[in-house]
Amino acid sequence: MHINTDHWDKQDYLAFILLYLAEADGRLEAEELKYIADHLGKEHLDHVRSSANECNDYQCLEVMRAMRPRFYPGEIGLDSLKMEMKALCQVDGRFSQFENEFIELIARQL
């Protein structure tokens, strides 16, 4: 499946990554969706949600990898992106070892 990202902006890209991360444990919590919508705007969440749901892990990672230099360039950009991911993981009041390791795994792929 090809994901059309031609009209994505930085908020769409970040919403895509946060949605992917939120679904990593197999359950998408309402508080995670609310955080993404409140933080980035519901329109950005809605814009990327169907794309995120239709692609497999490899395709999602390819989208993340291809677009990072545009929206989060260099090491500073990657650090900023990791902080955004960690903020999502803290929404439920817990930041598990699994979540931390998964963020690091994603970051290594980007």
Q: Tens digits of per-residue pLDDT, 5-23?
A: 888 999 999 999 999 998 8
Domain contains 29: yes
Domain contains 5: no
How many folded domains does the chain comprise? 1
What is the span of the domain harbouring residue 43? Answer: 10-109
Q: What's the CATH code of the domain at 26?
A: 1.10.3680
3-state helix/strand/coil string of the chain: CCCCCCCCCHHHHHHHHHHHHHCCCCCCCHHHHHHHHHHHCHHHHHHHHHHHHHCCHHHHHHHHHHHHHHHCCHHHHHHHHHHHHHHHHCCCCCCCHHHHHHHHHHHHHC
Tell me the pLDDT band of 98, cut-offs 50, 70 and 90: confident
Q: Tens digits of per-residue pLDDT, 44-68?
A: 998 898 877 788 889 999 999 999 9
pTM over 0.85: yes
Domain contains 4: no
